[in-house]
Amino acid sequence: MIVPVWAWLAVIGGLLVVLAFDLWIVDRGEPREFSLKQAGFWVSFYVTLAVIFGIVLWISAGPTSAGQFFAGYITEYSLSVDNLFVFYIIMTRFAVPRIYQHKVLLIGILMALVMRSIFIAVGAAALANFGWLFYVFGLFLIYTAVQLIRQFGQEEDLPENAVLRWARRVLPHTDDYVGSRVVVKVNGRRMVTPLLIVMIAIGTTDLLFALDSIPAIFGLTTDAFIVFTANAFALMGLRQLYFLLGGLLQRLVYLSFGLAFILGFIGVKLILEALHSSGVSWAPEVPIWVSLSVIVVTMAVTTAISLAKVRRDARASKENTTPASVEQG
């Protein structure tokens, strides 16, 4: 799909306006906790924006492009849910006060969006010139899927990445938070607060997650415009989803299996389509509606089975708990 420059500028400008409005709301007045009602509203708002964009894409570019966008958006959003576990660990490790967490997520994810844009541009150019990269991406996604399954049940590990280590070593920083400020003056010396360090941690850690999510969406479409917009809409709604899901994150016990299946499916799809493009007759070309159906059904089944297991375990635990009065009797 050939996208004119004005369309790129319009979409990027619109996203920046929405993000600026979101930031203004966050910084307006005294810092406060993000309520479930607010989170629900903003998640619905960003999902609605994505749906409207997909409909506009359908009207202007056809059902194939729209299908690729929706498949990419759902994939990125699904993979982003896994990111929320790591965001929770970061917030806990740095003891970020809850009233400042929304601002941290907003700035951190905005940083991630800029870095992902560079990643997408490089990836699109590389795939256009080196077709063999489709095999590399496909094998990498299959490998990632296997690793997700192997790591099931293990405690999440969060080693500091190189950028975060550099920031903590080089940037003079205060030991404690200073309200919602990221830069302060202490004895005439300008210093950053732990809030900026956490933002860097969120942004750079999300970029590491892009190592599997970006190849995954390139397995659905090689259109840089669709890849960028799907990532942007998924990231924009991620902050509010963090607060909306809350304890539900711990209840999605089989999420890694669902994500592994999706990544494995897209990896196989990439390899088959690369073979098909190379003239291998037996290699099928997987339609986008099949990909979209697999992604939606997989996430729905994964969520349903996870919640059913949590309810079953809770019921079994309750039945096995003997009241103290009965024991004494």
Predicted confidence (pLDDT) per residue in 158-178, tens digit: 556 677 777 777 888 887 888
pLDDT in tens, 271-312: 888 888 787 778 888 888 888 888 889 988 988 898 888 888
The pLDDT score that the predictor gives to residue 315 is 82
In angstroms, the CA 258 to CA 82 distance is 11
Structural element, H or E, at residue 196: helix 194-218
pLDDT in tens, 201-212: 887 777 766 677
Mapped onto helix, strand or coil, the DSSP state of residue 191 is strand
pLDDT in tens, 54-78: 999 999 999 999 999 999 998 888 8
The pLDDT score that the predictor gives to residue 19 is 78
Looking at per-residue confidence, does 319 or 97 come out higher? 97
Are 197 and 248 within 8 A, CB to CB? no
List phi, psi (to 5°) of 274: -65, -40
Residue 52's pLDDT band (boundaries 50, 70, 90)? very high
Residue 50's pLDDT band (boundaries 50, 70, 90)? very high
The pLDDT score that the predictor gives to residue 29 is 58
pLDDT in tens, 101-125: 877 877 777 777 887 788 888 888 8
Looking at per-residue confidence, does 304 or 247 come out higher? 304
pTM: 0.76
Looking at per-residue confidence, does 268 or 80 come out higher? 268
185 beta partners:
190
Q: What is the mean pLDDT of residues 86-101?
A: 80
pLDDT in tens, 4-45: 888 888 988 888 888 788 777 765 656 666 677 777 888 888
In angstroms, the CA 86 to CA 71 distance is 24
Residue 270's pLDDT band (boundaries 50, 70, 90)? confident
Considering the chain, what is the average pLDDT of its residues?
80
- Percent of residues, the chain, with pLDDT higher than 70: 86
Residues in Cβ contact with 210 at an 8 Å cutoff, skipping those fewer than 6 apart: 112, 115, 116, 119
Dihedral angle computed from the Cα positions of residues 58, 271, 122 and 197, in that order, rounded to the nearest 10 degrees: 90
In angstroms, the CA 22 to CA 35 distance is 15
Please give the structure tokens belonging to residue 174. Answer: 């205060």
For residue 231, what are the CA distances in angstroms to 142, 152, 158, 211, 304? 21, 26, 23, 13, 25
In angstroms, the CA 1 to CA 65 distance is 8
In angstroms, the CA 82 to CA 95 distance is 21
List phi, psi (to 5°) of 55: -65, -45
